[in-house]
A and B are shown apart, each in its own frame.
Chain A
Amino acid sequence: MSRNDVLVSADWAQEHIGAPGIVFVEVDEDTSAYDKGHIEGAVKLDWRTDLQDPLRRDFIDREQFEQLLSERGISNDDTVVLYGGNNNWFAAYAYWYFTLYGHQAVRLVDGGRKKWELDSRPLSTDAVSRPATQYQASEPDTSIRAFRDEVVAAIGEKNLVDVRSPDEFAGKLVAPAHLPQEGAQRPGHIPTAVNVPWSKAANEDGTFKSDEELAKLYAEAGLDTSKDTIAYCRIGERSSHTWFVLRELLGHQNVKNYDGSWTEYGSLVGVPIAKGA
Chain B
Amino acid sequence: MCGAPKQGGALAGVDLSTQTVIQGQVWHDGAPVAGAYVRLLDSTDEFTAEVVTSPEGEFRFFAAPGEWKLRSLAPVGRGERVVTADVGLNETTVAIS
Residues of A within 8 A of B (CB): 29-31, 33, 48, 85-87, 114, 117-120, 165-167, 172-173, 175-181, 197, 199-200, 204-205, 234-235, 237
Contact = CB atoms under 8 A, between A and B. Distances in A.
A118 B75 contact: yes
B64 A166 contact: no
A233 B73 CA distance: 25
Contacts of B4: 29-30, 85-86, 178-179
B75 A177 contact: no
A33 B4 CA distance: 10
Contacts of A175: 2, 62
The list of the 5 closest CB pairs from A to B, nearest first, reads A199-B47, A177-B49, A178-B49, A30-B4, A165-B48
Given A178-B5, A197-B46, A204 B62 contact: no
Contact of A117 (B50, B61, B75): B75
Nearest to A87: B50
Nearest to B68: A177
Given A117-B35, A165-B47, A179-B2, A30 B62 contact: no
Most buried by A among B14, B20, B61, B62: B62
Contacts of A33: 52
Contacts of A180: 5, 14, 19, 62
25 contacts: A30-B3, A30-B4, A31-B3, A86-B50, A118-B74, A165-B46, A165-B49, A166-B42, A166-B44, A167-B48, A172-B64, A175-B62, A176-B48, A176-B49, A177-B49, A177-B63, A178-B51, A179-B49, A180-B14, A180-B19, A181-B62, A199-B46, A234-B2, A235-B1, A237-B2
A75 B89 CA distance: 49
B48 to A, nearest CB: 5
Contacts of B50: 86-87, 178
Q: From DSSP, what is the main secondary structure of chain A's interface residues? A: loop
A48 B3 contact: yes
Nearest to A195: B46
- Among A87, A180, A205, the most chain B Cβ lie within 10 Å of the Cβ of A180
Interface string B59-85: 011111000000001110000000000
Given A118-B75, A167-B48, A178 B62 contact: yes
Contact of B61 (A87, A178, A235): A178
A237 B35 CA distance: 23
Contacts of A197: 46-47
Interface in B23-54: 35, 37, 40, 42, 44, 46-52
A179 B74 contact: no
Nearest to B55: A36
A235 B2 contact: yes
Contacts of A235: 1-2
Nearest to B59: A178
Nearest to B40: A177
Contact of A177 (B1, B2, B62): B62
Nearest to A118: B75
Nearest to B13: A180
B57 to A, nearest CB: 15
Nearest to A177: B49
Nearest to A175: B62
Contacts of B75: 117-120
Q: Which of A177, A180, A205: most chain B Cβ within 10 A?
A: A177
